[in-house]
Structure 1
Amino acid sequence: MANQSMQLDHIFRALSDATRRAIVVRLCEGEASVGELAKPFEMALPSLMKHIGILASSGLVTSEKNGRVRTCSLQTEAN
């Protein structure tokens, strides 16, 4: 029970930021490259990657690098 509570804490912390919520909403439409995810935001790619890292560590998002392109998708299966 404590482990499940800790996982929920990570998820809610990840979703507490408006940028990360917008990323999740966009990924509900389908997978996207980091460049595509960055378009609506005025921030450098390293800053966006930090947001994606937080979403990934909470288990909400997965990312895969194929060549020079990193593609992100929503994690739909429970861990």
Structure 2
Amino acid sequence: MLADEKIIESLKSQQNRKLLGIDMESYGVMAAGSEVSAPRPEALIIKGVSDFADSAKNDAYRHYAAYASAGILRLLVEHLGL
């Protein structure tokens, strides 16, 4: 679905001019949530990005990205009571 340039350009035109990529799983969760009838679920996605998914892709920073995203979740829970 996101291979469609019209969708990507639409996302860029919504104040996302510097869009570099879209996490497919996160996009799927948010798209599914927007398609259901009331009561609509609320979703929060926190994702650590560890590479550009290009030919240089490797797992060197995968554990750090997971640690950092878990740390953000912890801060949100502790300080905002989520």
Q: What TM-score comes out, normalization by structure 2 length?
A: 0.26
By relative contact order (CA 8 Å, sep 6+), the higher-ranking structure is: 1
Name the larger-Rg structure.
2
Which structure shows the higher strand fraction? 1
TM-score, normalised by the number of residues in structure 1? 0.27
